[in-house]
Amino acid sequence: MTPDTRTHAHTDLVVDVGPVAHGGHCVARHEGRVVFVRHGIPGERVRVRLTDDGPAAKFWRADVVEVLEPSPDRVPHFWDLADSARSWSHRHPPVGGAELGHISLARQRSLKADVLAEQLKRLAGVDLSPAGQITVEAVGTAAGDGGAGGATDGAAGAAVSGLGWRTRAGFAVTPAGKLGMHAHRSDAILPVREMPLAVAGINALRLWEIDLQGIERVEVAAPANGSRPLVLLVPAPGTRSKRLGGILAQLPDDVSVASLDPATGEVLQLRGRTYVQESAAGHDYRVTGDGFWQIHRDGPETLVGAVTGFLHDGGYLEPGSVVADLYAGAGLFTAPLADAVGVTGSVLSVEGAPGTSRDARKNLHDAAQVEIVQGRVERVLRQKPRNFDALILDPPRAGAGKAVVKQLIDAGPRAIAYVSCDPASFARDLGYFRQGGWGMAGLRAFDLYPHTHHMETVALLTPQP
């Protein structure tokens, strides 16, 4: 798509929307050619606008601009900027990040379960297709349990609607210096005046009212525990400190502000702290700058419960156990693992990012049974072989990969808890595990990203007899 989508000529087609596919779209066909359609629902007849096409292309991409025969699961979109038909009526594509907002939450979870089942069958050879074998679970107050964090009435209402869950959000900046977001698969930046998926602490900053000239990107973190938010500014080259001071003066005094050098990853304090203080599973965690943390307000508690539940129930996590937390981040899983194994056990915590590994050291400084190592997972496992009872594997979206999976198998643990945010890379890695004689002993999937196509899975993997 060209940067100026408003002047680019587009072609419209009428198609019948077919099955859901991984990536936030459904499959349709036009004269034998595959068209990946966003903002539709299987079974609908729609008019679409081609956004990526060409006679030599193997497939086309398209957005729905008009619904001719709607699904009973279609609902009004909660966010005008992400509403495809409304956006295209204003001659621009929708922003990303809420591509399932036109679908009821129950159907969203059903479609995500279909995607997970399809990926597992195609990439791992695991057939869980019969109805009911995979359920994508709602989390927190959306699951009707009152919320892991004791949510307020406002937060509870937001969770039921699938809104107000993001404790972190990233924004672009328009050429005029206004807060914005990229249109999907486009260089065009559209100004925003709300972020319905974000927690109230982010929207309360009203960043759209601030003059952000000289800034390329803004990252915001507002912890679910209500502690001090952090606004992270990524300045454009040549932006002077006086300009940063002008932005600082427009932000509330009780908000921490820092700048990030994208070339070096260095985070510089402008006011307050360069980190946020998160809470989960009875522990507090320092997370610096743009360091990784689960973005759903109830995500950390949910995943800790799933991982420790699988390992404890299987007899792999007990006092005295030897475990490792791989791709450990700031120590979300490391701390409750240390609690479970006690002083007679041990936890090896491995993280590649230096800044995040430093956070883990601060977060776990009083846990003598924890050894924190900064480095690549495969290198650390070679250098520190142990008789592991269990490994926790929480890799980035790209997954672990064939070489790492082989090394994990060679390490000889009794079990592995695999946490994944991408069903395709998870299914691919599961296929590698199965080739090595391992199998899946348990699987849970969670809707940690309502109104988007993303989901989180936790699987228990064990050697097969």
Q: Is 386 exposed, middle or buried (0-12, 13-18, 19+ CB in 10 A)?
A: middle
What whole-number distance in Å separates Cα of residue 66 and Cα of residue 48? 7
Q: What is the pLDDT of residue 1?
A: 41
Reported residue count of the chain is 465
Q: What is the pLDDT of residue 371?
A: 96
Q: What is the pLDDT of residue 78?
A: 97
Q: What is the pLDDT of residue 70?
A: 98
Q: What is the pLDDT of residue 206?
A: 96
> Catalytic positions, please?
421
Q: What is the pLDDT of residue 144?
A: 47
Give the residue from 290, 399, 295 showing the smallest Cα distance to 355.
290
What whole-number distance in Å separates Cα of residue 159 and Cα of residue 324? 33
Q: What is the pLDDT of residue 154?
A: 53
Q: What is the pLDDT of residue 152?
A: 43
Tell me the pLDDT of the chain (465 aa) as tens digits. Answer: 444 444 457 899 999 999 999 999 999 999 989 999 999 999 999 999 999 887 888 999 999 999 999 999 999 999 999 999 999 999 999 999 999 999 999 999 999 999 999 999 999 999 987 656 899 999 976 554 433 333 444 555 555 689 999 999 999 999 999 999 999 888 899 999 999 999 999 999 999 999 999 999 999 999 999 999 999 999 999 999 999 999 999 999 999 999 998 888 889 999 999 999 999 999 999 999 888 999 999 999 999 999 999 999 999 999 999 999 999 999 999 999 999 999 999 999 999 999 899 999 999 999 999 999 999 998 898 888 889 999 999 999 999 999 999 999 999 999 999 999 999 999 999 999 999 999 999 999 999 999 999 999 999 999 998
Q: What is the pLDDT of residue 7?
A: 42
| Contact residues for 329 (Cβ-Cβ < 8 A; gap 6+) | 291, 292, 293, 351, 356, 360, 394
What whole-number distance in Å separates Cα of residue 123 and Cα of residue 429? 9
- Coil, helix or strand for 296? strand
Q: What is the pLDDT of residue 156?
A: 55
What whole-number distance in Å separates Cα of residue 382 and Cα of residue 72? 54
